[in-house]
Amino acid sequence: MVRAAVAMIALIGIPANAGAAQADPDQYAPNPGIESTYLQPGPWAVTEKLGFGCCDSTGAKFDVWYPTDLGGAKHPIVLWGDGTKAVPSQYTYLLRHLASWGFVVIGTENQQTGSGTDILGSLNFLKEQATTPASVFYGKLDTAAAGAIGHSQGATGVVNAMLASDGAIKTAVPIEIPKQALCSEAIKCTDTRKLTSGSVFFVNGSADGFISPSTQALPWQLAGLQSNQAYYEATPANVAKAWATLNGPDHNDVQGQPDCAQASNPCTSGVYGYLGYSTAWMMAQLRGDVAAIEAFRTGTGELLAPSANWSNQVSTVMR
């Protein structure tokens, strides 16, 4: 089963185009309000630099996406975690989108990020850049406001990086986090029961039933963390958490540029549904956006309302 999982998780895709475009309302009709706002590109023009710096623990380079004009207030940091055998450029549409909302985004070109070591290493790299006079990031980064987003193995990696960060990574968005039955030496496990602080927003596609299922037949206490529901429920109560399932997408839709034309299989529609609330979560957790926080509020938040696009919406976010 592990060999089959590795083959399915492997993301051997075509590097994406760097151009940003408006989200297509014919492809995805967001919830009115916060999702609609953050589905659209932000106010910043974006600079992309592949191979910007070197190196992580394996010798892989770091790629960056950032607001072209870094003047004014310091910018929060978003760390990216690749899926198995993928590189950050395969997620260019999503990463440019985040940068357009004022974040400095960094991803290692390492194709095995499950341990979280090199995701955390990318934060340390940017911290050094922030204190290096010759760097474009000198004095421009809010290094105390760092979050992480990852896909598949990288979803495991961002949780592991957060666990190892001693509080330096404030929040994580695991997208299509693999069930623990798929762990191997290469594809690491994570355990959300070990989280002690911060916040987590789990997102999965409803068609991704093999790698990142929404629920599981047996209680997770008996079978381990084999579903998004299990990872969510195992996250301690003192950690702000939310979970929602996109109706329709499969394992690799998040690679959409924005549709499935350049994404690895399986992909059903593209990245559209992953843009709005993932960006809003980072705005809420790293920039204190009050309206964005309200979208996730327990019981009353926009995300939790009945929606054609979303199911399994739950949250413990109180403010």
Instruction: Please give the radius of gyration of the chain, using alpha carbons only, rounded to the nearest integer.
Output: 18
Show me where the domains of the chain are located: 2-13+28-315
| Cα–Cα distance, 198 to 168 (Å, whole number) | 9
- pLDDT classification of 1: cutoffs 50, 70, 90: very low
Supply 211's token pair.
Answer: 């790698």
| Cα–Cα distance, 95 to 279 (Å, whole number) | 10
pTM above 0.85, yes or no: yes
| Cα–Cα distance, 151 to 251 (Å, whole number) | 9
Per-residue burial over 142-163, b = 16 or more CB atoms within 10 Å of its CB, e = otherwise: bbebbbbbbbbbbbbbbbbbbb
Q: Tell me, what DSSP letter sits at residue 121?
A: H
- pLDDT classification of 23: cutoffs 50, 70, 90: very low
Supply 272's token pair.
Answer: 């559209």
Q: Pick one of 3.40.50.1820, 2.30.29.30, 3.40.50.2300, 1.10.150.170 as the CATH number of 2-13+28-315.
A: 3.40.50.1820
Indicate the range of 19-33, 37-51, 148-162, 233-247 predicted with least confidence: 19-33
Pseudo-torsion of CA 42, 43, 47, 48, nearest 10°? Answer: 0
pLDDT tens digits along 222-254: 999 999 999 999 999 999 999 999 999 999 999
- pLDDT classification of 26: cutoffs 50, 70, 90: low
